[in-house]
Amino acid sequence: MSPHHVETDCFRRQSDEFIRWLAQKPGVRINPKIKVTDLRSQGSGRGVVALSNISNGEELFAIPRNVVLSVNNSRFKNLISQSLEDLGPWLSLVVVMIYEYLLSEDSAWSAYFQVLPTSFDTLMFWSKSELSELQASAIVNRIGKQDAEDSVLELVAPIVRSNPTLFPPLERLSSYEGTDGNNALLDLAHRMGSLIMAYAFDIEDDTHDSSDEDGYVTDDEQLPKGMVPLADLLNADADRNNARLFQEEKFLVMRSINDIKAGEELLNDYGQIPRADLLRRYGYITANYAKYDVVELPLGIICEAAGLDDAKLKDQAPLQFLEDLGILDDGYSVSKPSSNQSLAEYFPVELLSLINTLTLTREQLLEYRSKNSPPDPVLRPPQAHLLLQAVQRRWLQYATSIEQDIGILGSLLHTESMQVLERSLHRKRMAIYVRIGEKEILRQLSTTLTNFISISGANSSTKRNAQSDDDERPSKVRSRTE
Ligand SMILES: C[S@@+](CC[C@H](N)C(=O)[O-])C[C@H]1O[C@@H](n2cnc3c(N)ncnc32)[C@H](O)[C@@H]1O
């Protein structure tokens, strides 16, 4: 058998064992019309497909609450003196998952760990040079790797080190002390943290009826998180979702929310996520998410465009004013403009308030300060001009043009003879799509603002001409009557 076949065989065997393990748990129901399948050839790992037609509202599977891998369900909380609650939903589940993972075959979830990935394409795992392909995307500053590692060392490491019998050292390690121990622990924590980020659900308590709500992660930082076997094998593709998890009293139930044809993939809803953020959280992108792309206009660039001294930005009177009102941000996300929006609707209200404040005279600013309210978020030529300057400066932060990016993508496709791209090339390609998306928004904003300014200029000069015609008319009239 070729290495490829051995690999495929092992992958399939793990999927089958996982389903066998899950199906024999008391209370679990799995609709025979669905199947876990190998979608690696299309770059999406495992997924779930319909074997025959499924009607809207059909139950796809039901997982009893006690089968969820969570802080509440793991024995770990009974084995330590310390409460895990102080760690918050993320880190407490990280600790519990490390514990369960190290239990290996003895864990109640060992068959589940077999189908969870051990490597990721999320931005946390990209090298510096891979990240540089995202160019000026604001996402690079939001990966938070250092913060994550600081919290692991401060809050998780002491628990692990003070309970050596519960956390046996990994192979070739004598303990979780010292540099090697630290690194091993950080690796484990990153792995579990990334699984939680891309796989976990926020688990509402059993009194909460979520039947009217969105089923996937709500990003509520307070709700406990849980790994829901099988529910997290559903992939997602923007608004192509056809299934949703309903949190009922005793079960978490996945149901179809559309008719699904035999052979179609079951897709969950990860949310309306810009591609940059999708890469950060899930490590993949598809073209269907392009409509949710955003570009960030950082405060610094807007102030630079307004001619404010960068040195102590927040000490500047206009910014201080907005800060006092609680509406100053470090940056503003601008979404992809759509044709049914007016120009002002392209921009968040807080950004328009900033731009309007920056275009006030000193006297006007004092006046607004005395009223304790920001200027109206309108967009007239002076504000459009300032925004255009900011957009153009932002554009210059990206090292290549859209056309160059398209050329690079083309050359990557030539080197891509194999079905699945080599990992680094795959990441590069995704990064290029993300930066193109952001540049396209900047280009669209730039064109629209330029048109608006020139039309307003033409209108005001037409008005001026009309005005001067009006001014002249009386004299002509006068001249006739004279
Ligand atoms: C909740 S899991 C879904 C199961 C996953 N495919 C697996 O093999 O374990 C989320 C992960 O699946 C992958 N994924 C989900 N939807 C995808 C899609 N449309 N295309 C490619 N990968 C996708 C991403 O790696 C993401 O982080």
Q: What is the pLDDT of residues 248-305, one digit of tens each?
A: 999 999 999 999 999 999 999 999 999 999 999 999 999 999 999 999 999 999 999 9
DSSP 78-135: HH-SS-SGGGHHHHHHHHHHHHHHHHGGGSTTHHHHHHS-S---SGGG--HHHHHTTT
Q: Could you tell me where the beta strands, DSSP code E, fall in 232-353? A: 235-236, 243-247, 251-256, 267-268, 294-298, 331-335
CATH for 3-279?
3.90.1410.10
Ligand 1 atom with least separation from CA of 121:
25
- What is the structure's pLDDT at 218? 40
In this predicted model, what pLDDT tens digit does every residue of 93-136 receive, in sequence order? 999 999 999 999 999 999 999 999 999 999 999 999 999 999 99
How far is residue 478's CA from residue 78's CA, in Å, rounded to a whole number?
100
Which one-letter DSSP state was computed for residue 136? T
**pLDDT at 214 > cutoff 60:** no
| CB-defined site of ligand 1, < 6 Å | 43-47, 117, 198-199, 232-233, 235-237, 282-284, 286
Cα 426 to averaged position of ligand 1 atoms, centre (Å): 15
Distance 234 CA to ligand 1 centre (A): 7
Partners of 54 in beta bridges? 260
pLDDT of residue 207: 65
Pocket test for ligand 1, best of 37, 284, 289, 430 (most atoms within 8 A of CB): 284
Percent of the chain with pLDDT over 90: 82
Using CA positions, which residue lies closest to atom 27 of ligand 1?
Answer: 282
What is the SS3 assignment for 187? helix
44 C-alpha vs ligand 1 centroid, how far in Å? 5
The ligand 1 atom nearest the CA atom of 117: 9
Number of the ligand 1 atom closest to the C-alpha atom of 47: 6
Ligand 1 atom, smallest distance to 233 CA: 4
Q: Give the model's pLDDT for residue 480.
A: 27
Sign of CA dihedral 194, 199, 205, 211: positive
16, 22 contact by CB (below 8 A):
no
ipTM over 0.85 threshold: yes
Domain(s) of CATH 3.90.1410.10: residues in the chain: 3-279
Identity (one letter) of the amino acid at 125? Answer: F
Distance 236 CA to ligand 1 centre (A): 7
Residues of the chain with CATH 3.90.1420.10: 293-463
Q: What is the pTM of this model?
A: 0.90
The CATH number of the structural domain formed by 293-463 is 3.90.1420.10
Of 232, 227, 201, 230, nearest to 214 by C-alpha is 201
